[in-house]
Amino acid sequence: MRAARLARLLALVALLAAAAPARGDDGPLVTVAEVGPTTATIWTRGARAGEIAVEVTPVTGGRSLAERVKVTEDADLIGRVTAAGLAPATRYRYRVQQGESVVSGEFGTAPAASSAAKVTFLWSGDLGGAGLCRLVDGGYRIFPVMARRSVDFFLFNGDTIYADLPCNRPGVVPGADFVAKSLAQYRARHRYNREDPGVQEFLRRVPVYATWDDHDVTNDFSGPTEPLMPIGRQAFLEYWPVVAPGNDPNRLYRAVRWGRLLEVFILDTRQYRSPNTEPDGPAKTMLGPAQRAWLVDAVAGSDAAWKVVVTSVPLSVGTGRPERRDSWTGANVFGIVPENPTGFATERDAILGDLRARGVKNLVFLAADVHHAEIIRHEPQPGFAFHEFIAGPLSASVGRPRPLDATLKPRSLFARGGVYNFGEVTIDAAGLKVRVVDDTGAVMFTHTLTRQ
């Protein structure tokens, strides 16, 4: 009996140790986000109420930017500092201190819009689904693998938490075995993922741009009709800083310019969407009229060599049930569009038609959500071709490839299910190279696109 009690005690100690933040229980959590040519956001969550000091200094030396932010229990101990007046394409070192606890790291600012600097970034999504949460033995193991890649930033493409699925499997760190229904519970689910040591190590050194998807609130939700959306959105924006133009504090869609070679357009596919159950047609929308007009004008007006659109749900892979398709397509399991489909293909095809009419070239869509990796070339109209890259999950139930929406004239260049994964894109003067990488760091597929 005594041996059994000792074994249980040791197991409890191991669980508590694994649940601790990367810098100890008294250290602040840190994330670098929304980096531009002259600005960057340092997000932090303190271990207690009070002041947190943030200092940003060029790695090569020079004037430091120092600021203090007060964090309170009411705001979940979260604070953020926007460092302004930075130099483009420059490495900076930062230091975040609360009391005696210090967290430090580095990041690089974006190059000026006129610079043809090479850029490399990662994308993926879907973290902590189906109870596949932080392991007692190793946490979220894919993040240290991603941290070993030399990249400029990470696009976290939705399902940053699974608020509607409890972390209740054996061998996972305790603290998230519930379905979020309140603001405190949504905050706790975000905090649970952010406290993972591997996640912390990655987000302290790689700037992130995040968007949400359904599980950040609840499965397959349509924004205006979902009563949990306001508190789910509040928690998301508290934990993932978003810098968007205009005066709307809830706006998530925005553009990120990374020199002359790349502009990224990050969509919000949830907040403005019509109910999934509505029949597809001209009145049905995923983006809402303002975001749709912004997308077409911004992409068509961009002079960047490559235009990358980040959509949390795929263009060509069907998700959800036939009576309430959740992705852009209403196609069935055979890739055929039935009579009276749901989905949002009418709006999708209208957007693609507008981009084609305005002569957009070198267009790539990045998606996640379907829990498998795939690289697809679409040519819905002769002479108008673009690519769709899908990655994920980071840690969730694994899916499998399925037939694609035939109306887009797709050609799957690579498809792989059954493995955690992320995508890596490198853009230089020669073109764009995409790699699909598994959670061991093995490159499963590489493909190169030449600039048109």
Can you tell me the mean pLDDT for 439-443?
A: 98
283, pLDDT greater than 60: yes
| Percent of the chain scoring above 90 in pLDDT | 93
Question: Is residue 12 very low, low, confident or very high in pLDDT (cuts 50, 70, 90)?
Answer: very low
Q: What was the pLDDT predicted at 357?
A: 98
Whether 198 has a pLDDT exceeding 70, the answer reads yes
pLDDT confidence band for 27 (50 / 70 / 90)? confident
- At residue 213 the predicted structure's pLDDT band, cuts being 50, 70 and 90, is very high
Closest CA relative to residue 258, chosen from 302, 321, 294, 288: 302
What pLDDT, on the 0 to 100 scale, is given for residue 327? 98
Taking CA atoms, 266 is separated from 24, 110, 424, 449, in Å, by 34, 16, 17, 21
Angle, vertex CA 157, rays to CA 225 and CA 358, nearest 5: 85
How many other CB atoms are found less than 10 A from the CB of residue 48? 11
**What's the DSSP call for residue 318?**
-
pTM: 0.94
As its CATH architecture, domain 2-108 has Sandwich (2.60)
| Cis upstream peptide for 289 (omega within 30°) | no
Q: How many CB atoms lie within 10 A of CB 63?
A: 9
The values of phi and psi at residue 56, to 5°, are -125, 130
Pairwise CA distance, residues 440 & 350, whole Å = 40
Q: What is the pLDDT of residue 20?
A: 37
Give the model confidence (pLDDT) of 152-190 as tens digits: 999 999 999 999 999 999 999 999 999 999 999 999 999
Q: What is the mean pLDDT of residues 93-111?
A: 97
| Mean pLDDT, rounded, for 375-390 | 98
Please, where in the chain does CATH 2.60.40.380 lie? 2-108
- Could you tell me the two tokens for 376? 């697809």
State how far the Cα of 195 lies from the Cα of 24, in Å rounded to an integer: 10
Would you place residue 91 in the very low, low, confident or very high pLDDT band (cuts 50, 70, 90)?
very high
Kindly report, residue by residue over 61-80, the tens digit of the pLDDT.
Answer: 999 999 999 999 999 999 99
The distance from CA 65 to its chain's CA centroid, rounded to whole angstroms, is: 28
Q: Is the pLDDT of residue 7 over 80?
A: no
Q: What is the pLDDT of residue 451?
A: 96
Note the pLDDT of residue 26: 58
The answer on pLDDT for 273 being more than 80 is: yes
Report the alpha-carbon distance of residue 98 to residue 156 in Å, rounded.
28
Instruction: Domain 119-449: give its CATH code.
Output: 3.60.21.70
Per DSSP, the chain holds a count of helices (H) and strands (E) of 7, 20
Q: Which of 275, 73, 35 is nearest to 183 (CA)?
A: 73
Could you say which DSSP state residue 398 is in? -
Looking at residue 21, what is its pLDDT? 37
pLDDT digits (tens, 9 = 90+) for 223-255: 999 999 999 999 999 999 999 999 999 999 999
Query: Which amino acid does the sequence have at 291?
Result: Q
CA distances to 64, 142, 196, 400 from 14, in Å: 40, 21, 14, 35
Rounded to 5°, angle at Cα 282 from 411 and 218? 75
DSSP string spanning 411-427?
Answer: EEEEEE-SS-EEEEEEE
Q: Which residues pair with 155 in a beta bridge?
A: 123, 209
Q: How much is the mean pLDDT over the chain?
A: 94
Three-state SS across 166-229? CCCCCCECCCCCCCCCCHHHHHHHHHHHHCCHHHHHHHHHCCEEEECCHHHCCCCCCHHHCCCH
Closest CA to 121 of 73, 175, 157: 157
Asked whether the CA dihedral 88, 91, 96, 100 is positive or negative, the reply is: negative
Give the mean model confidence (pLDDT) for residues 123-132. Answer: 98
CA gap 299, 433 in Å, rounded:
21
243-246, Cβ contacts within 8 angstroms, sequence gap of 24 or more: 243/34, 243/36, 243/39, 243/41
CA–centroid distance for 389 within its chain? 14
Rounded CA gap, 166 and 131, in Å? 6
Distance in angstroms (rounded) separating the CA atoms of residues 216 and 207: 20
**Residue ranges, CATH 3.60.21.70, the chain:** 119-449
